[in-house]
Structure 1
Amino acid sequence: MDNKLKLYGFNNLTKSLSFNIYDICYAKSEREQRDYIAYIDEQYNSERLTNILYCVTEMIGAHVLNVSKQDYEPQGASVTFLIAEESMIPSCIEPETVVAHLDKSHVTVHTYPEFHPGTSIATFRVDIDVATCGEITPLKTLDYLIGSFDSDIITMDYRVRGFTRDIDGKKLFMDHKIASIQDYIDNATLQRYDAIDINVYQSNLFHTKMLIKDVDLQNYLFNTDVYELPPKTRLQINNNLRQEMIEIFSGSNVY
């Protein structure tokens, strides 16, 4: 993406990256489940999510115009950034009087902790959307965002809409090369996951799903030591964890 195309006038392409990250955990008792929710709310409150989005906007070279953040009861948080490719506040005008235009877009994140009522499996879901205009592309933020959360399952969608023109007037419906979202994820990260693509190239639609390969049970137990559990219980919990992951990954009720 360092080799920029020579364009005629304004780049009218809109690029949207949306993905869900799922972190799976086992919390058996109601007390453990309440403690888990409290832990997640503390770890991923709106303040921390805001700091993550500030890093994202810096990585894509955008300017933050407005920040809205909210923590929810009993759990969850949301943060929304309004961003622009260039600074939209003239030095001669007071910031509070500005109604900014044109190449602005947004970055959002929402969190949703919930429990499977039959298996005591907790699923913490994070929804992230990065929508940009012009030359800015959100794909370069993937490694950072995946690494910012404990990501067991990841589903990603990338879409480029609209068109721009080169200096000869030819319409361009894509201003950078892409065959797969996976091309923009570090190999060390990809090696930890099973990944599949479902792409519609003629419509500039790209979809990738990733499922963690190795499940170390101790990493999925909340306030419980794996050696305190009998082997049969360990096996059942491990099966429940894997079944939950497979169903979320496949998008269907397999079991």
Structure 2
Amino acid sequence: MAEKIKLYGFNNLTKTLSFNIYDVCYAKTEREKNEYVAYIDEQYNAERLTNILCDVTDMIGAHVLNISKQNYDPQGASVTILISEMPMPAETLDPSCNSGLEILSKRETVCGHLDKSHLTVHTYPEFHPNQAISTFRVDIDVSTCGKISPLNALDYLIGSFDSDIITIDYRVRGFTREMDGRKCYLDHKIASIQDFIDAKTLQEYDAQDINVYQSNIFHTKMLIKELHLQNYLFNNDVLEFSPKERLEITNRLRREMIEIYTGMNVYE
């Protein structure tokens, strides 16, 4: 285990981990598209997203101060959690902090706050107007100050969603001081975000890094390697389609994934 840096005063480095995770699906008819969106809304509603973020809070060694959540019409949900590095005595909390907990089941948005940190998640189900392709995007931000690190929750977050395309940004901002007053701009070693992802998970993806080391900015994007068609057919069996149709659907799905991965409409 690497020797810890001894600091003078409070560690006020801000570490921010941002995710975009995409799930792609083939839903041909209008009814199938609407059913897919309804399915996503049910699977990833504000309550489940809250549970995921609370698990992340435990994993990074933080403590929940406040939660706010919301489901949206016609689709989507949001959750925000405010967290602290250390447990907070009840008498020190603002009495309004958790006043909404009793009615969380009636609220459509979730938000949580931390004393130095926060977690947020937003979902965006949608479908292509004429290509029978539906996508589900989830945006997650984990921002911490102090010793706790959001990198500890990487594998859990990837595994919590059907992740075909993943883009991850990690940045460390600000500085803290060592005992002799010397500024410390990074309190842990990192060469790549991939170093914090399980090797078995990485084997399933093509991954690419774009890092700016001198600014403590790290970016990784990942694209699923194997496309098993049955996993992408919503309420349909692969045997319902002819070999030609299967190839066409597979090509449509892969095209959508490549465009999202590259950030370009590459086939226009």
TM over 0.5: yes
Distance in 1 of aligned mates of 2:80 and 2:243 = 45
Aligned residue in 1 for 2:73: 73
Q: Match for 1:72: what amino acid?
A: Y
Note the residue ranges of structure 2 that are not aligned, 5 or more in a row. 98-112
Q: Match for 1:61: what amino acid?
A: G
Aligned residue in 2 for 1:27: 27
Is structure 2 residue 88 aligned with structure 1 residue 88? yes
Aligned residue in 2 for 1:220: 232
Query: Shift of residue 51 of structure 1?
Result: 0.5
Correspondence 1:136-151 to 2 at 5 A: 136-151=148-163
Aligned residue in 2 for 1:202: 214
Q: Match for 2:35: what amino acid?
A: D
Aligned residue in 1 for 2:61: 61
Query: Shift of residue 58 of structure 1?
Result: 0.3
Query: Shift of residue 3 of structure 1?
Result: 3.9
Aligned residue in 2 for 1:239: 251
Distance in 1 of aligned mates of 2:134 and 2:68 = 28
Q: Match for 1:20: what amino acid?
A: N
| TM-score normalised by structure 1 residue count | 0.95
Note the residue ranges of structure 1 that are not aligned, 5 or more in a row. none
Distance in 1 of aligned mates of 2:253 and 2:182 = 52
Name the % identity.
Answer: 73
Q: Match for 1:199: what amino acid?
A: N
Q: Match for 1:68: what amino acid?
A: S
The Cα RMSD (Å) is: 1.8
| TM-score normalised by structure 2 residue count | 0.91
The question of whether the paired residues in 2 share the 8 Å contact of 1:89 and 1:95 is answered with no
Query: Shift of residue 155 of structure 1?
Result: 0.1
Aligned residue in 1 for 2:102: none
Runs of 4+ off more than 4 Å: none
The question of whether the paired residues in 1 share the 8 Å contact of 2:82 and 2:114 is answered with no
Q: Match for 1:57: what amino acid?
A: T
Q: Match for 1:182: what amino acid?
A: Q
Distance in 2 of aligned mates of 1:201 and 1:162 = 15
The question of whether the paired residues in 2 share the 8 Å contact of 1:41 and 1:76 is answered with yes
Aligned residue in 2 for 1:159: 171
Q: Please state whether the residue corresponding to 2:122 is helix, strand or coil.
A: strand
Query: Shift of residue 4 of structure 1?
Result: 2.3
What is the count of residue pairs matched by the alignment? 253
The 3 A distance-change label for structure 1 pair 107 and 221 is: same
Aligned residue in 2 for 1:129: 141
Distance in 1 of aligned mates of 2:6 and 2:142 = 25
Q: 1:23-71: CA deviations, max 9, x gaps?
A: 0000000010111111111110001001001100000111111100000
Query: Shift of residue 102 of structure 1?
Result: 9.0
Q: 1:105-164: CA deviations, max 9, x gaps?
A: 110001000111121100100000000001111001000000000000000000000001
